[in-house]
Amino acid sequence: MLDPDTEEEGERTAGPRVPPPVQPNQGAPLRRDTQPSVSIEQAAKPSFDISVGDPHKVGDLTSSHIVYLVKTKVGGSHLWPA
């Protein structure tokens, strides 16, 4: 059976080349040499501080609405790497 990327044995046509399949490592199980930067318990309990205030009325009589200042703070630098 011929490879779909070739017309004849040894001849290659234009087109993407399909990489060979990768076999999983059959050696020793994966091992982590370093400790995580935060504990699983700490990472599972993020804190969020959200405050809303400083209302301002914007617009005229037919299209008026209130604009608020929203401040957010996420506790812990462990949620996003630096």
49-71 pLDDT, tens per residue? 999 999 999 999 899 999 999 99
Q: Which of 81, 78, 56, 79 is nearest to 67 (CA)?
A: 56
The residue ranking higher by pLDDT, 4 or 15, is: 15
Q: How many CA atoms lie within 13 A of 37 on its CB side?
A: 8
Decide if pLDDT at 14 tops 90: no
pLDDT at 67: 95
